[in-house]
Structures are given as structure tokens and as C-alpha cells.
Amino acid sequence: AAGVIQSPRHLIKEKRETATLKCYPIPRHDTVYWYQQGPGQDPQFLISFYEKMQSDKGSIPDRFSAQQFSDYHSELNMSSLELGDSALYFCASSFGTGGTEAFFGQGTRLTVV
Amino acid sequence: DQQVKQNSPSLSVQEGRISILNCDYTNSMFDYFLWYKKYPAEGPTFLISISSIKDKNEDGRFTVFLNKSAKHLSLHIVPSQPGDSAVYFCAASGGRNTPLVFGKGTRLSVIA
């Protein structure tokens, strides 16, 4: 069965550069979540989209932005990267919001040097 | 302040025995609870869930128990197998348009 696809799997950027992470949800899923997991930390919710509209916002820095496109894929844009942005970024998708299982992608490991 | 707490960072269990992973939550608005399993360098994999209208949900070797009055849930794995060794995350959701809130995870090691 098709799963959530994230690209790229690994990304190395320098400080102050920009990065774009992509997430392709499971077909027919209309909700996308973005999570950030730093070393030794629990996943932290960044932002979510339902039917192409932002549905909730967590601890996403102002330097980051995201959107969900008409085909339901989502992109997380990160600018002015800092060393502390190095983390595993997970995307999850679900059908509907709340009270339903979300399925995660393999994650994108971002390293800022 | 953490809304979902997994107070045991790690747990070691012998193969064939029962593994019990615990999770506490503070937000009484949570009405759906999930367990995810995570292997290194992979995304969390959904394992089992429970709605607040139930107190138990079983799926093969995995059973989740929910005690709403104590705001506590637990995951039982019986019998434990070496392949169960992973980090287990408890997550909770409070209804429509609310994201999952995760605990810090418990690393389970099943020893052969």
C-alpha cells in the first residue's frame, strides 16, 4: 500500500541558507501534519493542514512557512537556517482531523552546518 | 508543561514475557489515544489506538487499556518478541482540527 513519502531523506545546509521539505500524503488523505524531532527529544508539532487550509499551528518558528497544494502534497519552507534547526522532520497524513490514525513518512534528516 | 507523559525512558523485558508501557495525560479534552512504534531512522508506525468511549482495545499481541478517571493508558505486549525492540510513543488527540500530542517515548528492549 502507498505510504507517506517525504523528500529528500537527507539534507545538509549551511547556516542562513534555505531548505524546502516535501511531503506526499497517502492517496485520499486530506490532512497533513509536520513534526520536528530534535536529538533525544519527543516529536514537536509544527503545523497542520486540512483541505489545503492551515488547521493548527504549533511551535513553528516565524522563519518557517508551509502550505498544502491542490494535490494535497505539502511543503515546509525553512529560511535563515540555524544550527538548532538540525533535526528529523516528519510528515504525517490522515483522512479527516482528530480522532483518526495519522500515518508517518520516513522523515527528512536536516543537518545545518 | 507536557500534556502527554511517558515517565519511563526505557524498559527491558525477556522474550516471551509481558511488556507494559505506561502513559499519563493531563488534558481532559483528549478523546483519542494512539501508540506508535519507531525504529531508528524511520518514521513512527501506527500500532494501536483507543477512543475515550472504550477502556480496552486488543489487536493480536497488543492491548491498550484506558483509565479515564486516572488519565492513564497502558500498552501491553504479550508475548514480547525481540522484533518488538523499538521506541514506543504514546499520542493523544482532542478532536477535530487538533494535532496529535506526543509523549517523549519509551525505549523497549526485548532480550532473547
pLDDT score of A97: 60
pLDDT score of B30: 92
Residue B85 C-alpha, separation from nearest chain A C-alpha, in angstroms: 17
Average pLDDT over residues B1-9: 87
pLDDT band at B5 (very low <50, low <70, confident <90, very high): very high
A43 touches chain B (CB under 8 A): yes
Query: Which chain B residue shows the shortest CA-CA distance from A4?
Result: B43
Q: Output the average pLDDT for chain B.
A: 92
Q: Which residues on chain A are in Cβ contact (under 8 Å) with B89?
A: 42-43
Return the residue matching grid coordinates 488523505: A29
pLDDT band at A106 (very low <50, low <70, confident <90, very high): very high
Average pLDDT over residues B41-56: 90
Residue B58 C-alpha, separation from nearest chain A C-alpha, in angstroms: 16
* Contact yes or no for A42 and B89 at CB 8 A: yes
Whether the per-residue pLDDT at A73 is higher than 90: the answer is: yes
* Contact yes or no for A99 and B96 at CB 8 A: yes
Which residues does residue B15 pair with via DSSP β-bridges, in sequence order? none
* Contact yes or no for A48 and B49 at CB 8 A: no
DSSP string, A26-93: PTT--EEEEEEE-TT---EEEEEEETTEEEEE-S--TTEEEEE-TTS-EEEEE-S--GGG-EEEEEEE
Q: Which residues on chain B are in Cβ contact (under 8 Å) with A94?
A: none
Phi, psi of A18, deg, nearest 5: -115, 145
Cβ neighbourhood burial of B51 (10 Å; 0-12, 13-18, 19+): exposed
pLDDT score of B102: 86
Q: Taking chain B, what is the end-to-end CA distance rounded to the nearest angstrom?
A: 38
Q: Taking chain A, what is the end-to-end CA distance rounded to the nearest angstrom?
A: 36
A105 touches chain B (CB under 8 A): yes
